[in-house]
């Protein structure tokens, strides 16, 4: 191996730039404290993403545990050819996709599907109508906003949902999302474009009334909503 | 933007372009081009703003926190898995060596025995501890510090304080189906299982689907991954529970508690499990009360704003207590009137037995038989006292007052009566058995739909269907006074009333 070996260059690059890669290398060497550190660091993010993926909090926690166990089992084979988070979310995507497939066969848990039969009890249109019809100008409570957004995210397809989560909450680039999901950069671009368009359509009643936008602005203390938005 | 755009719609291309722009994925020259167009094209700009606003709204998604024990159990499971794989790593090595030696027959034999071992040995182990494995996740939720006695004390306290009576109806009924079988199998692990018991457990395993068996083995693995002292404490708890003279009621409390936990948000659950027993019991009381109020606010055709549920509930609760003598007196009078209209003798003993009946049933009886007067009693007549309608109005928030203000006096009273009906459903809830029986009558398709829902939605939808069906039955058959007849039956008065009498009665 020489310095010009692309694989070696990649490994060395990620070792130098990604502290989590360095932690994982310590795990590979048998350092359980480093593994614990990784679990601590990623647990909330993983459980969060998986919860929105499978719409079931308890199942998400089980799946997150499964992801970490897979990471641990694979430690001896670990080669840093990407950022640690990209590798982790690749495993997460696989685990979640398997669980969704399994669950759609078993129909035992409340997972999101595209069929109307598994829509939430109070679909978004109804919620929007209730809010806007009753009190169009009032601001939505935080819990109401949460429900609206949970219902909205559940209406996206499985792949759109995970791409959205990775882009929005993990700040991953198209290239990284593509690596995690086994897609080309162009496919990720299309996927996210459809996800954004769908979200825009799903949330249109709120965008038009401005109720949620106002609330988001107030609740999250982001005062970036212009008069025009309202 | 270098990819071929083929014959894709311009909107689609614009959407992709804006997405890439908002995600910072365009080159410098592409970014400049987009910004120029945004400056000159208001439609394009508005599309971009809507897309960005919708994207920003994702910030409102609730944060999810894993269980506090998540890190510990995950690390422990990982390390335990390594230890197990360290032992079993010899298997593939031996097989590899044999294969290298070209001994296919030996390989077959090893594979055969290895397969047989992998299926039968764990099953044998499972049979011995089946009840512990099946229930360990329930057990581990009732005690901490590896103190099983604490768990028994906790379950006893739940039972004695009747903690889940108010929200029993919020639970999914799943676990109740298992209850009977599981109670039968509550046998201490210190007692060697009898041949019959082993056979029963084996049959149970055989009747499981592949998936259920797989889940059970996963559960077994999780149990075995727990620290030794935790495993011992769970076994000890199982033995204490199995040997307790009140094991049936303790079991009921355990199932109720575990099912109730499923209705909580993760943060609530975490806070509870970490609390010492007395504090935990207090929190349960607090949360169940809140749940009952929220359920109350959700139910009914005319919604009482949730924020006023507590105030209304409190007011109504007080009114029932305050007018207890009047309610009893009125029930006695209505009962006498019914008998009189039927030409039946009015026996003083019967009337006083009715008047001393459970207040919930008397309220229910009056709401059905004498709704208008009951409304007068609780709301209108109450104007004369400090606990009346005016007092209620003082306690409600603007949202409710806005609803009430737009109504005529009669309409207002009717609305309050409907809220009272809703309050009755919470105060005197549908019995689980009734709901379960109703569930059984639903078509398979409806049940399938329900079963695919989250427990909260499941309950809400099922009760909605239940009340809808009830209302249809009531409007079609106004004299179907099942509740009242049960009440009469329980009080030995049913012989005086035939079903036909009710059908003809002009109430």
Q: Considering the domain boundaries, does residue B487 fall inside one?
A: yes
Q: Which of A126-130, B8-12, B459-463 has the lowest mean pLDDT?
A: A126-130
| End-of-domain residue from the set B40, B60, B80 | B60
CB contact under 8 A, A146 and B70: no
Q: Which of B155-164, B165-174, B225-234 has the lowest mean pLDDT?
A: B165-174
Domains, in order of start, for chain A: 1-109 (1.10.1740.10), 121-230 (1.10.10.10)
- State yes or no: pLDDT of A225 exceeds 50: no
The verdict on B74 and B208 lying in the same domain is: yes
pLDDT value of residue B300:
37
Taking CB atoms within 8 Å and a gap of at least 24, the contacts of A219-228 are A219/A142, A219/A145, A219/B60, A220/B59, A220/B60, A222/B56, A222/B59, A225/B53, A228/B49
The verdict on B232 and B284 lying in the same domain is: yes
The verdict on B112 and B228 lying in the same domain is: yes
Interface test with B, best of A189, A214, A225 (most B CBs within 10 A): A189
What digits encode the pLDDT tens for the residues B346-401?
888 878 888 887 777 788 778 777 877 777 777 654 445 455 677 777 777 777 77
What digits encode the pLDDT tens for the residues B5-29?
555 678 888 889 999 999 999 988 8
Q: Considering the domain boundaries, does residue B457 fall inside one?
A: no
Interface test with A, best of B42, B74, B140 (most A CBs within 10 A): B74
Q: What is the pTM of this model?
A: 0.41
Mean pLDDT of the residues in chain A: 73
Sorting pLDDT into bands at 50, 70 and 90, what band is B480? very low
Compare all CA atoms of chain A with the CA of B78 and give the residue at the minimum distance: A69
CB contact under 8 A, A44 and B452: no
The count of residues in chain A is: 230
Q: Considering the domain boundaries, does residue B40 fall inside one?
A: yes
Distance (Å, whole) CA B373 – CA A194: 60
Contacts of A148 in chain B (CB under 8 A): 57, 60
The verdict on B184 and B324 lying in the same domain is: no
CB contact under 8 A, B75 and A39: yes
Query: Which candidate from B16, B61, B82 shows the least CB-CB separation from A146?
Result: B61
The verdict on B406 and B281 lying in the same domain is: no
Sorting pLDDT into bands at 50, 70 and 90, what band is A95? confident
Q: In this structure, are residues B379 and B416 in contact, taking their beta carbons and an 8 Å threshold? A: yes
A220 touches chain B (CB under 8 A): yes
Contacts of A109 in chain B (CB under 8 A): 452
pLDDT value of residue B467:
63
Contacts of A214 in chain B (CB under 8 A): none
Distance (Å, whole) CA A140 – CA A152: 15
Q: Which of A2-6, A133-137, B30-34 has the lowest mean pLDDT?
A: A133-137
Compare all CA atoms of chain B with the CA of A122 and give the residue at the minimum distance: B457
Contacts of B460 in chain A (CB under 8 A): 121
pLDDT value of residue B481:
45
The alpha carbon of A111 is separated from its chain's Cα centroid by a whole number of angstroms, namely 15
The verdict on B277 and B325 lying in the same domain is: no
Distance (Å, whole) CA B391 – CA B381: 12
Distance (Å, whole) CA B206 – CA B213: 9
Q: Considering the domain boundaries, does residue B188 fall inside one?
A: yes
Q: Is the interface score ipTM higher than 0.90?
A: no
Distance (Å, whole) CA B121 – CA B135: 21
Distance (Å, whole) CA B378 – CA B374: 6
Sequence-distant (≥ 6) Cβ neighbours of residue B458 within 8 angstroms: B172, B450, B451
Task: State mean pLDDT over B40-45.
Answer: 90
Distance (Å, whole) CA B263 – CA A110: 14
Q: Which of A46-50, A190-194, B143-147 has the lowest mean pLDDT?
A: B143-147
Comparing B104 with B492, the larger pLDDT belongs to B492
Q: In chain B, what percentage of residues exceed pLDDT 70?
A: 60
Distance in angstroms between the alpha carbons of the first and the last residue of chain B: 76
The verdict on B256 and B327 lying in the same domain is: no
Interface test with B, best of A196, A203, A222 (most B CBs within 10 A): A196
| End-of-domain residue from the set B295, B326, B360 | B295
Contacts of A225 in chain B (CB under 8 A): 53
The verdict on B262 and B319 lying in the same domain is: no
Residue A203 burial by Cβ neighbours in a 10 Å radius (0-12, 13-18, 19+): buried
| End-of-domain residue from the set B295, B320, B337 | B295
B224 touches chain A (CB under 8 A): no
B42 touches chain A (CB under 8 A): no
Query: Which candidate from A117, A190, A212 shows the least CB-CB separation from B57?
Result: A212
| Top-confidence range, A123-137, A184-198, B317-331, B409-423 | A184-198
Q: Considering the domain boundaries, does residue B468 fall inside one?
A: no
- State yes or no: pLDDT of A191 exceeds 70: yes
Compare all CA atoms of chain A with the CA of B461 and give the residue at the minimum distance: A121
Comparing A125 with B201, the larger pLDDT belongs to B201
CB contact under 8 A, A174 and B77: no
Comparing B331 with B114, the larger pLDDT belongs to B331
pLDDT value of residue A4:
62
Mean pLDDT of the residues in chain B: 70
CB contact under 8 A, A207 and B54: yes
The count of residues in chain B is: 507
- State yes or no: pLDDT of B108 exceeds 60: no
Comparing A129 with A47, the larger pLDDT belongs to A47
Sorting pLDDT into bands at 50, 70 and 90, what band is B109? very low
Interface test with B, best of A55, A77, A197, A219 (most B CBs within 10 A): A197
Query: Which candidate from B53, B61, B78 shows the least CB-CB separation from A153?
Result: B61
Contacts of A229 in chain B (CB under 8 A): 49, 53
In degrees and rounded to multiples of 5, residue A229 shows phi and psi of: -60, -35
Sorting pLDDT into bands at 50, 70 and 90, what band is B234? very high
CB contact under 8 A, B457 and A120: yes
Q: Considering the domain boundaries, does residue B134 fall inside one?
A: yes
pLDDT value of residue B426:
58
Q: In this structure, are residues A160 and A194 in contact, taking their beta carbons and an 8 Å threshold? A: yes
**Which of B 390-449 lie inside 8 A of A, CB atoms?**
448-449
CB contact under 8 A, A110 and B49: no
Residue in the structure block whose two tokens are 């039955």:
B473
Count Cα atoms within 13 angstroms, Cβ side, for A144: 19
- State yes or no: pLDDT of A116 exceeds 60: no
| Top-confidence range, A69-73, A119-123, B390-394 | A69-73
3-state secondary structure B201-228: HHHHHHHCCHHHHHHHHHHHHHHHHCCH
Sequence-distant (≥ 6) Cβ neighbours of residue A52 within 8 angstroms: A150, A153, A154, A161, A165, B61
The boundaries of the domain holding residue B369 are: 299-429+477-504
The verdict on B414 and B271 lying in the same domain is: no
The verdict on B255 and B324 lying in the same domain is: no
Task: State mean pLDDT over B406-416.
Answer: 71
Contacts of B12 in chain A (CB under 8 A): 193
Q: Considering the domain boundaries, does residue B45 fall inside one?
A: yes
Compare all CA atoms of chain B with the CA of A151 and give the residue at the minimum distance: B61
A148 touches chain B (CB under 8 A): yes
Q: In chain A, what percentage of residues exceed pLDDT 90?
A: 17
Domain count of the fold of chain B: 3
Sequence-distant (≥ 6) Cβ neighbours of residue B75 within 8 angstroms: A32, A35, A36, A39
Q: Considering the domain boundaries, does residue B450 fall inside one?
A: no
Task: State mean pLDDT over A31-36.
Answer: 92
Say whether B425 sits in a helix, a strand or coil. Answer: helix
A126 touches chain B (CB under 8 A): no
Contacts of B84 in chain A (CB under 8 A): none
Task: State mean pLDDT over A96-119.
Answer: 49
**Which of A 75-94 lie inside 8 A of B, CB atoms?**
none
The verdict on B18 and B93 lying in the same domain is: no
Interface test with A, best of B4, B70, B290, B397 (most A CBs within 10 A): B70
Distance (Å, whole) CA B364 – CA B366: 6
Distance (Å, whole) CA B62 – CA B82: 35
- State yes or no: pLDDT of B489 exceeds 50: yes
The verdict on B91 and B240 lying in the same domain is: yes
């Amino acid at each position: 191996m020489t310095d010009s070996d692309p694989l070696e260059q990649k490994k060395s690059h990620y070792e130098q730039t990604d502290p989590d890669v360095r932690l994982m290398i310590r795990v590979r060497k048998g350092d359980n404290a480093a593994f614990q550190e990784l679990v601590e660091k990623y647990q909330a993010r993983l459980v969060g993403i998986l919860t929105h993926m499978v719409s079931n909090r308890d199942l998400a926690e089980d799946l997150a545990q499964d992801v970490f166990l897979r990471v641990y089992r694979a430690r001896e084979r670990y080669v840093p050819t990407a950022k640690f988070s990209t590798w982790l979310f690749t495993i997460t995507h696989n685990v979640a996709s398997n669980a969704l497939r399994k669950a759609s066969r078993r129909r035992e848990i409340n997972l999101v599907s595209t069929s109307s039969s598994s829509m939430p009890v109070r679909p978004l249109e109804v919620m929007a109508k209730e809010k806007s019809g009753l009190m169009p100008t009032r601001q939505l409570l935080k819990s109401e906003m949460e429900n609206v957004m949970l219902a909205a995210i559940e209406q996206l397809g499985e792949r759109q949902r995970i791409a959205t989560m990775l882009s929005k909450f993990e700040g991953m680039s198209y290239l990284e999302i593509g690596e995690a999901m086994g897609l080309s950069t162009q496919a990720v671009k299309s996927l996210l474009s459809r996800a954004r368009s769908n979200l825009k359509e799903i949330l249109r009643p709120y965008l038009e009334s401005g109720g949620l936008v106002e609330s988001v602005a107030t609740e999250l203390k982001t005062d970036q909503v212009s008069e025009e938005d309202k | 933007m270098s990819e071929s755009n083929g014959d894709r719609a311009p909107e689609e291309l614009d959407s992709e372009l804006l997405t890439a722009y908002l995600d910072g994925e365009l080159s410098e020259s592409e970014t400049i081009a987009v910004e120029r167009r945004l400056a000159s094209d208001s439609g394009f700009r508005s599309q971009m703003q809507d897309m960005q606003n919708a994207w920003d709204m994702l910030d409102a998604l609730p944060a999810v926190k894993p269980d506090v024990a998540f890190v510990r159990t995950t690390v422990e499971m990982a390390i335990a898995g390594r230890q197990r794989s360290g032992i079993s790593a010899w298997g593939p090595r031996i097989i590899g060596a044999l294969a290298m030696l070209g001994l296919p027959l030996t390989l077959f034999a090893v594979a055969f025995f290895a397969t047989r071992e992998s299926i039968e040995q764990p099953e044998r182990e499972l049979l011995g501890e089946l009840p512990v494995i099946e229930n360990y996740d329930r057990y581990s939720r009732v005690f901490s510090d590896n103190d099983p006695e604490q768990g028994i004390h906790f379950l006893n306290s739940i039972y004695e304080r009747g903690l889940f009576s108010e929200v029993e109806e919020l639970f999914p009924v799943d676990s109740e189906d298992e209850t009977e079988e599981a109670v039968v199998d509550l046998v201490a692990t210190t007692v060697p299982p009898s041949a019959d018991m082993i056979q029963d457990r084996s049959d149970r395993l055989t009747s499981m689907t592949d998936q259920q068996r797989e889940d059970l083995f996963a559960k077994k693995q999780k149990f075995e991954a727990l620290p030794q002292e935790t495993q011992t404490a769970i076994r000890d708890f199982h033995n204490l529970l199995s040997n307790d003279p009140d094991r049936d009621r303790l079991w009921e409390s355990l199932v109720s508690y575990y099912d109730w936990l499923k209705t909580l948000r993760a943060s609530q659950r975490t806070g509870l499990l970490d609390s010492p027993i007395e504090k935990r019991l207090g929190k349960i009381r607090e949360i169940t009360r809140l749940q009952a109020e929220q359920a109350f606010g959700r139910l009914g055709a005319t919604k009482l704003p949730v924020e006023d549920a507590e105030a209304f509930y409190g007011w109504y609760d007080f009114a029932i207590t305050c007018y207890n003598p009047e309610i009893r007196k009125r029930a006695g009078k209505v009962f006498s009137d019914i008998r009189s209209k039927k030409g039946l003798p009015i026996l003083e003993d019967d009337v006083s037995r009715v008047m001393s009946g459970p207040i919930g049933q008397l309220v229910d009886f009056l709401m059905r038989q004498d709704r208008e007067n009951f409304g007068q009693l609780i709301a209108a007549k109450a104007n004369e006292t400090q606990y009346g309608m005016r007092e209620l109005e003082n306690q409600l928030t603007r949202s409710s007052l806005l609803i009430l203000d737009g109504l005529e006096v009669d309409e207002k009273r009717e609305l309050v009566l409907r809220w009272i009906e809703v309050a009755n459903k919470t105060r005197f809830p549908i019995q689980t058995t009734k709901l379960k029986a109703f569930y059984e009558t639903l078509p398979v398709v409806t049940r399938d739909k329900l079963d695919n829902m989250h427990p909260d939605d499941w309950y809400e939808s099922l009760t909605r269907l239940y009340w809808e069906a009830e209302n249809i039955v009531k409007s079609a058959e106004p004299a179907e006074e099942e509740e009242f007849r049960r009440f009469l039956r329980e009080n030995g008065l049913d012989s005086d009333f035939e079903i036909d009498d009710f059908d003809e009665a002009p109430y």
